[in-house]
Amino acid sequence: MPSPIATRLYLVRHCDVENPDGVLYGHLPSFGLSSKGLVQAEALGRFFSTTTARAIITSPLDRARQTAQIIASHIDSIPVSEDADLIEARFGLYLQGVRPRDVPWRRPLWFVHMAWPGVLRRDESVKAMAERVRRPLMHLLRDHPGDGGICVSHGDPIQAFWVDHEHRPPYALHRLQCMKGGMLVLDYADDRLQRLEYWPPERIRDSRGLPEPLGVEGDPYALSRALDEIRGDA
């Protein structure tokens, strides 16, 4: 029986966004990267230039496309394609254009979404988001076995994939944090995901693979543990 093919894929969140009005941008056009985001994307590009990644698939939204294009500029002849399966969460259409502080009174269904993503008709379930993110990952596995590739997406879809992989309840969607410019490193044996590891942008920037200090940004489980303590679930 042949040994399984080991392939590493990367599920990247777009980098920091130029957003002078501080609104939730959802699916809105013309939200490109900020100066901070450009630095983050260049760091991603330098990191990926040292890997065997052979293709990039990106969400069609501007902030993800720009992130993907900057990464690609560091890798010789790597193709970049768009896939709507990597687009922002559907609930972003309801929230977009509103400042976060105004969400509770201007977009009150947000409370329902936070308690149980997917229960509203205009929302997506965690399972549905995870499945659509999984499809382009499977395309990379099929087309580049052993070499791998990169998918560029958005916070909620990436976190949905993460939550689904760890068999967590839907409300955990907003308790695991993939920061802008961060990524999930996914190790597959054939088409089976064997290992998932979160890399925050600071680890990518330093490119030393050192563990991050504990805290919400360095430890994606810190917020989850803090909420469990408040609820008495720790």
Report if residue 112 sits inside a domain.
yes
Q: What is the mean pLDDT of residues 47-57?
A: 97
Report if residue 228 sits inside a domain.
no
Considering the entire predicted model, what is its pTM? 0.88
pLDDT, tens digit, 9 for 90 and up, residues 113-134: 999 999 999 899 999 999 999 9
Q: What is the mean pLDDT of residues 2-20?
A: 96
Q: Which residue type, as a one-letter code, is found at position 188?
A: Y
Report if residue 216 sits inside a domain.
no
How far is residue 81's CA from residue 72's CA, in Å, rounded to a whole number? 11
Would you state the pLDDT for residue 54? 98
Would you state the pLDDT for residue 55? 99
The three-state secondary structure class of 198 is strand
Report if residue 223 sits inside a domain.
no
Report if residue 102 sits inside a domain.
yes
| CATH code for the domain of 147 | 3.40.50.1240
pLDDT, tens digit, 9 for 90 and up, residues 150-196: 999 999 999 999 999 999 999 999 999 999 999 999 999 999 999 99
CA atoms within 13 A on the CB side of 132: 22
Report if residue 68 sits inside a domain.
yes
- Enumerate the β-bridge partners of residue 132: none
pLDDT bucket at 1, cuts 50 / 70 / 90:
confident
- Enumerate the β-bridge partners of residue 82: 58
Report if residue 229 sits inside a domain.
no
Q: Give the residue numbers spanning the domain of 146.
A: 6-209
Q: Answer whether 173's CB lies under 8 Å from 159's CB.
A: yes
Q: Answer whether 41's CB lies under 8 Å from 15's CB.
A: yes
- Enumerate the β-bridge partners of residue 12: 152, 183
How far is residue 144's CA from residue 148's CA, in Å, rounded to a whole number? 5
- Lowest average pLDDT, out of 2-11, 115-124, 217-226, goes to 217-226
Would you state the pLDDT for residue 207? 74
User: How many domains is the chain built from?
Assistant: 1
Rg of the chain in Å (alpha carbons): 17
Give 34-59 as a DSSP string.
-HHHHHHHHHHHHHHTTS----EEE-
Report if residue 219 sits inside a domain.
no
